[in-house]
């Protein structure tokens, strides 16, 4: 296991997000330490995705402040593109670029942002593809891949930018059951290497095994949080008990 230090990487202060009159996140304050694996669970519509998407400003917070690595990223003067280059995101529906080969999917961002030269990016792509066992697919287009392969490529695409933190929004929810394992395996390896991770998932086994801290989100607030043992074995709030009863059958 990696040891945790107490350097706060992401500090969320009084985050509120509303879509029109619909308040989806209500005054959330939370932080993620460097190296920490935070798993976010909760019922559908509770605001998990919105919370995650606020962290890299895919959603603009209505109120509140988000400090990433010492920088206030909610400040309009912050160059959000620069910030996002250090935050990887993995989506439920993969969102690979169908007009590019697997290799191009991976090298596109590092080269276009000027972070790497073409050869460097290529070498990095080769290294990452080998690691997830998909080097033979380098010239394939995403449409020819299985869901599990697509998601592993999507993870690799994000990793190619050498991010400080990885955000996962239900990375296995769109997969056939037999492909869930191969994706979780890659995520576990990543966790063991010490990557800071925020993962929204319904995979309770993964949450118990990998999570340092579990956040239970419902109705736009973090209703309860704690270690996997606290959350799964000693849930306090009726909402969490109710939720666990439904998902742990």
Partner 1 sequence: MNNLQAQFVTAFVTEDRWKAYLEGLVQKTYVITVGALAFGIVLGILVAVIRTIHDQNIGRNNWLINFLNGICQVYTTIIRGTPMLVQLMVFYFVIFSSSRAKVAISILALGINSGAYVAEIIRSGIMSIDPGQMEAGRSLGLGYTQVMRSVIIPQAIKNILPALGNEMITLFKDTSLVTVIGVTDLTKVAQTIGAKTYSYFMPMIGIALIYLLNVIVLTRLLGILERRLRRSDRT
Ligand X SMILES: Nc1ncnc2c1ncn2[C@@H]1O[C@H](COP(=O)(O)OP(=O)(O)O)[C@@H](O)[C@H]1O
State in angstroms the smallest separation of the CB of 49 from Mg ion: 3
- Tell whether residue 87 is a contact of partner 1 (CB under 8 A): yes
- Residue 145 tokens, joined: 């891949």
- Tell whether residue 174 is a contact of partner 1 (CB under 8 A): no
- Tell whether residue 89 is a contact of partner 1 (CB under 8 A): yes
- Out of 2, 27, 45, 144, which residue is the one contacting ligand X (CB under 6 A)? 45
Separation of CA 173 from chain center? 13
State in angstroms the smallest separation of the CB of 61 from ligand X: 13
CB nearer to partner 1: pick between 58 and 244: 58
- Tell whether residue 143 is a contact of partner 1 (CB under 8 A): yes
State in angstroms the smallest separation of the CB of 170 from Mg ion: 6
- Tell whether residue 9 is a contact of partner 1 (CB under 8 A): no
Cα→Cα distances 29→34, 223, 242, Å: 17, 12, 24
CB nearer to ligand X: pick between 50 and 149: 50
**What distance in Å separates the CA atoms of residue 166 and residue 148, rounded to the nearest whole number?**
18
- Out of 37, 84, 137, 213, which residue is the one contacting partner 1 (CB under 8 A)? 84
CB nearer to ligand X: pick between 35 and 47: 47
- Tell whether residue 81 is a contact of partner 1 (CB under 8 A): yes
Stretches 41-49, 81-89, 122-130, 175-183: which one binds partner 1 (CB under 8 A)? 81-89
Q: Which does 76 bind (CB under 5 to 8 A by kind): ligand X, partner 1, Mg ion, none?
A: none
- Tell whether residue 18 is a contact of partner 1 (CB under 8 A): no
CB nearer to ligand X: pick between 18 and 134: 18
Residues lying near ligand X in the complex (CB under 6 A) are found at 19, 22, 24, 42, 44-50
Residues lying near Mg ion in the complex (CB under 5 A) are found at 49
């Amino acid at each position: 296991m990696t040891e945790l230090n107490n350097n706060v990487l992401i500090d969320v202060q009084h985050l509120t997000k509303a879509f029109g009159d619909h308040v989806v996140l209500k005054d959330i304050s939370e932080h993620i330490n460097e190296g920490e694996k935070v798993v976010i669970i909760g019922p559908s519509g509770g605001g998990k995705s919105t919370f995650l998407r606020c962290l890299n400003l895919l959603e603009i917070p209505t109120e509140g402040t988000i400090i990433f690595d010492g920088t206030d990223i909610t400040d309009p003067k912050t160059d959000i593109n620069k910030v996002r280059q250090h935050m990887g995101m993995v989506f439920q529906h993969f969102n690979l670029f169908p007009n590019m080969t697997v290799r191009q999917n991976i090298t596109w961002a590092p080269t276009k942002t000027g972070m790497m030269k073409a050869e460097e990016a290529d070498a990095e792509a080769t290294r990452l593809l080998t690691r997830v066992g998909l080097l033979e697919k380098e010239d394939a287009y995403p449409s020819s891949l299985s869901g599990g392969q697509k998601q592993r490529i999507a993870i690799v695409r994000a990793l190619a930018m050498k991010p400080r933190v990885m955000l996962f929004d239900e990375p296995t929810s769109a997969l056939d059951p037999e492909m869930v394992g191969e994706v979780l395996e890659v995520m576990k390896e990543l966790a063991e290497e010490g990557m800071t991770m925020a993962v929204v998932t319904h995979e309770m086994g993964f949450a118990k095994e990998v999570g340092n801290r579990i956040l239970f989100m419902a109705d736009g607030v973090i209703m309860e949080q704690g270690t996997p043992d606290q959350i799964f074995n000693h849930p306090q709030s009726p909402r969490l008990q109710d939720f666990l009863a439904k998902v742990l059958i």
